Chain A
């Protein structure tokens, strides 16, 4: 059926068509230090999931960042330059993250990548888009994967979130230090990916041992049936065992609902990781307020509901004005905070903006930037770690995260073996109207 003339047409067609693939395009100017920067504008880019299941959780990030940049632009921009944010949907797929990020660098010619989201996605995208080779900064990567702090592997990347490992270590320390919890048997139910795995590692290096091997479930595999099974098997454990939930918020909700169904809500002390502890979502997903009440969780931010916090208050105002119709939550807070850090970095890099200059600015001044985070930023000539601490809180029936025992204690540590210590760090107060003046 396939004859050689067909093959001929095949080969020629292939050539012609591939020619078509190279949609009318021009040879690019070699990437330079100032790509994406003009006298009046700075072009930044983000590749993140907007659709699909991950879009549900993180879809708000680009919008929130854009909203903050619009706010800054409305107030004169950075050194007279207006910031534009090019945002592409990668559906949380490595394949798309790689192409979208490469597109940002080669076609959109952005000055830097900001707030890239996801571990597998961005680690692939980072290499595929040759960010290191083109010296393109990847600012404030939105993932708890500690690997991005490695200057050797990701020379132009800057972490912002504390790592999952840090979180786990701090939770371990908290359990040890809390008389009510220390003696109780503890169990871990976690997602079977780097998220859960790093968590497990963190608890280990934090010297915490669980009463049983962790229950790991595949992404999208945690059915209510599975949760009910898991809880039933633990219901016989004496005392008030601790249930650490290291997963996304919807899985936390599934487990809490299972506990409700089995009348086990008071049987366990629930500890939800920061990613899985978003109270608004929990309530939206139909978890009873009485169940949410008392759930222990960790955060390095103020509570997104706490309008008395100056940063939250300011960001809420910006959100209502520049991000119409989007409800304010942890994700929006996180997005705006990253945007605010970005603006300070751009200012710190000075009038004649270069990529190297930008990264040097963060290395040298980054740790002094004003941010909503209650933990210190650890940027330095040798460190690309962002926040390195958490405070432990307890959700109340309204879904607000209140410091455990009334007093907010911040713990800091690293992703490796450093001890967990209570920190006295006090964050900078917000610049006037939330417009950086560094």
Chain B
């Protein structure tokens, strides 16, 4: 798989020359086309695959938020799960208390998380790499205790996140998993489209300038501090959306839904993806879903209680992760080609 992806990257560079005109309209068209393809596809496969496809899309959105932060503005967050949680709770409260449509709830999830990111970012985004990493990490592990401070969040029990029955117009054969998949896949497409636009915008170029050489960027009159806060806020918003999608899929939001391992999982996905490589986010999401499946299915034959059978999946997943990093698409030469 990785080989195949390297080939694709090569192609990018060749094509780069005549790919430099960017027309939002064309992008919009392609994005609609993609949606249509997914729609066809969703009628061809079984429910569980749809459910997992929805997870793939959800992770893809999460990875996109990491890419926005790390890939485009050079900041490192180890606690993105916390930002996802903010979105998730915001969405759940919207549905449960305001009784609004789930899609609106997801939009709320994005906005609230973005706002939260803006406030948090205003305080912490100026911290350099490891310091920001430490802060977000500390935030992530504080989440359960913080959630318990606010009864409205339902404590450890958490809140139900119920998108309700599938729209009647699709008929009653229409499975809720397909409904999940449509929502998540649509969200993922919108985010890819959105990130692609950002990246191509002046805004995105400033990000990269800032990432590659903050001092130079500053000299060119870029307000690095503000840019970083903005990047952090946008990334939080996207993270919030993926958080909303995640709890939609698991039908409830509770602090235990956002363990540290989730934040780190997304980070891994982002690396597998290759930080610049937007189309990769879906591949990244896919890897996060499929690898554990493979690992487990390899072992279902082995009996239940033996240490080996229990610990081997974890071993395989981690091993594959390391391989992915060692063969990450962002080799040095790759970076160079991007810079010139």
Contact = CB atoms under 8 A, between A and B. Distances in A.
Do A and B come into direct contact in the complex, CB within 8 Å?
A: yes
B45 A14 contact: no
A59 B30 contact: no
Contacts of B185: 18
Nearest to B259: A93
Contacts of A205: none
Contact of A127 (B38, B193, B199, B251): B251
Contacts of B300: 86
B250 A124 contact: yes
Interface in B49-78: 49-53, 55-57, 60
Contacts of B8: 9
B130 interface: no
B257 A93 contact: yes
A115 B100 CA distance: 36
B209 to A, nearest CB: 11
A201 to B, nearest CB: 12
B156 interface: yes
A26 B310 CA distance: 29
Interface string A196-225: 010000000000000000000011010000
A2 B199 contact: yes
Contacts of A323: 305
A367 to B, nearest CB: 28
A299 to B, nearest CB: 24
A194 B53 CA distance: 32
A88 B297 CA distance: 10
Interface in B19-41: 19-23, 26-27, 30-31, 33-34, 37-38, 41
A7 B289 contact: no
A20 interface: yes
B160 A127 contact: yes
Contact of A21 (B158, B177, B256, B286): B286
Given A7-B30, A14-B279, A25-B48, A99 B252 contact: no
Contacts of B176: 130, 133
Given A63-B304, A106-B46, A197-B156, A4 B259 contact: no
Contact of B304 (A18, A28, A66, A107): A66
Interface string A131-168: 00100000000000101000000000000000000000
A119 B255 CA distance: 13
A222 B281 CA distance: 38
Best-surrounded residue of A59, A123, A145, A221 (most CB of chain B within 10 A): A123
Nearest to A15: B37
Contacts of A194: 155-157
Given A11-B31, A22-B50, A95 B19 contact: no
Contacts of B56: 17-18, 21
A89 B38 contact: no
Task: Give the contact-size bracket for chain B.
Answer: 35 or more
A89 B282 contact: no
Contacts of B31: 7, 11
Interface in B281-309: 282-283, 286, 289-290, 296, 300, 303-305
A19 interface: yes
B48 A103 contact: yes
B339 to A, nearest CB: 10
B47 A28 contact: yes
B278 interface: yes
Interface string A51-89: 100010001101100100000000000000000011111
B179 to A, nearest CB: 12
A21 B287 CA distance: 9
B259 A7 contact: no
A13 interface: yes
A323 B208 CA distance: 58
B135 interface: no
Best-surrounded residue of A2, A26, A85, A128 (most CB of chain B within 10 A): A2
Contact of A22 (B20, B23, B34, B44): B44
Interface in A1-39: 1-15, 17-23, 25-28
B193 A28 contact: no
Contacts of A17: 56, 282-283, 286
B121 interface: no
B250 A98 contact: yes
Best-surrounded residue of B185, B246, B278, B305 (most CB of chain A within 10 A): B305
Given A17-B282, A106-B51, A4 B252 contact: no
A120 B158 contact: yes
A88 B162 contact: no
B157 A119 contact: yes
Best-surrounded residue of A66, A87, A89, A147 (most CB of chain B within 10 A): A89
A97 B254 CA distance: 13
A98 to B, nearest CB: 4
Best-surrounded residue of A4, A27, A119, A192 (most CB of chain B within 10 A): A4
Nearest to B51: A102
Contacts of B145: 192, 218, 221
Contact of B30 (A8, A87, A107): A8
Contact of B26 (A4, A97, A123): A4
Best-surrounded residue of B12, B19, B304 (most CB of chain A within 10 A): B304
B148 interface: yes
A326 interface: yes
B112 interface: no
Contacts of A85: 304
Nearest to A133: B176
Best-surrounded residue of A8, A62, A326 (most CB of chain B within 10 A): A8
Contacts of B279: 6-7, 9-11, 13-14
A236 to B, nearest CB: 28
B276 interface: yes
Contact of A5 (B19, B48, B290): B19
Given A18-B53, A99-B55, 15 more contacts: A10-B278, A11-B37, A13-B279, A21-B52, A21-B56, A21-B290, A26-B46, A50-B310, A62-B305, A93-B261, A120-B256, A124-B257, A197-B155, A219-B144, A221-B145
The 4 closest A-B pairs by CB, nearest first: A11-B34, A63-B305, A22-B45, A10-B279
19 contacts: A3-B19, A7-B31, A14-B189, A17-B56, A18-B185, A18-B286, A21-B52, A21-B286, A25-B46, A59-B305, A89-B313, A93-B257, A102-B177, A103-B48, A107-B48, A128-B251, A147-B157, A192-B156, A194-B157
